[in-house]
A and B are shown apart, each in its own frame.
Chain A
Amino acid sequence: MWKEIILWAHAVFGTLGVLAAVWLFVEVLNISETNKIRIRYSSVITAVFMWLSFILAGYWYVTWYPADKTIILAGPWKWAHEFFMEVKEHIFFMILLLGTYLPIAVHTTNPLSDKRVRRMILVIAALIALLGLLMDGFGAIIIMGVKLGLLPPF
């Protein structure tokens, strides 16, 4: 039961992290004195969601993934592990680095007065959102690898 809950929760928090990054992106595009506080909140929320996703995904990966890995490697979509899982588990570190840096960048700069700071924050938020979506896609392929590995041979 915990296996399924944690697997589900890591994807939910990752998706919420993507949504928070998109929220921040839109706020920065429309920056003014009135939404500065929301930009600060959304940067922290992005980081918190990504860390929650990372901790849950890491626990699941270390504890339960070896069984799924065996199934994938014995099935027809071996590359679901050999490429997609290998890349996914390591690209996530980039999301974590960017997600941790995002609130530092937002809280220690003045995006309202400098267009170049706004651009930098937009780049970071966009990278987090795009990498997060990439993780979702890779996760779907990995799940398919497990499903196909469980099917009887044709």
Chain B
Amino acid sequence: MEEKSMGKYAVGFGLSAAIMNVVSSLLVVAKEEYAPLMNWMKAALGHHWTTQGAIVMGSFLLLGIILSNPAIGKKWNAERLGNVILVSVVLGGLILMGFFLNEL
């Protein structure tokens, strides 16, 4: 009964946002450290940041649709999902700040 207040889309897209918060930061580290990836991202849409935006938001939508599955939704409640989203923002932020502080 506890999960009834959460729809499958709330769970699916919430998980997707949490995953992409961290993946986006890891993609930043990857493109900064691996020149061929950076060059490909620059060439793909004219600017690496534009390509990153398209990858992040496109993956968010795709992953959200895939994870919007009632079987997955039953395993999650709002408290757990809220905690995961909070941790993902903190972790993603620390990855970004740590990486660029180290680059100074």
A residues with CB within 8 A of B:
54, 58, 61-62, 79, 82-83, 86-87, 89-91, 93-94, 96-98, 100-101, 104-105, 108-111, 113-114, 116-117, 119-120, 123-124, 127, 131
Give, as a whole number of angstroms, the nearest-CB distance from A69 to chain B.
Answer: 12
Task: Say yes or no: B85 contacts A98, CB within 8 Å.
Answer: yes
7 nearest A-B pairs in the assembled complex, by CB-CB distance: A120-B82, A108-B7, A114-B5, A116-B78, A116-B79, A117-B78, A120-B78
The reply to whether the CB of B30 lies closer than 8 angstroms to some CB of chain A is no
B interface SS class: helix
Q: What's the tally of chain B residues with a CB closer than 8 Å to chain A?
A: 42
Out of A86, A94, A117, which one reaches B5, CB within 8 Å?
A117
**CB distance A123 to B50 under 8 Å?**
no
Chain A residue nearest to B79 (CB atoms) is A116
B41 CB within 8 Å of chain A:
no
10 contacts between A and B (CB under 8 A): A58-B49, A83-B97, A97-B20, A97-B21, A97-B60, A104-B14, A108-B9, A116-B2, A116-B77, A123-B86
Q: Are A87 and B100 in contact (CB under 8 A)?
A: yes
Residue contact A123 to B7, C-beta cutoff 8 Å: no
Q: Is B70 close to A, CB under 8 A?
A: no
Interface of A is mostly: helix
A97 and B5 contacting across the interface, CB-CB below 8 Å: no
The docked-state distance in angstroms from the alpha carbon of A18 to that of B2 is: 31
Residues of A within 8 A of B79 (CB): 116, 119-120
Q: Nearest CB to that of B92 among chain A residues?
A: A94
Given contacts A114-B6, A119-B78, 6 further A-B contacts (CB under 8 A): A62-B49, A93-B56, A108-B8, A108-B9, A109-B5, A116-B78
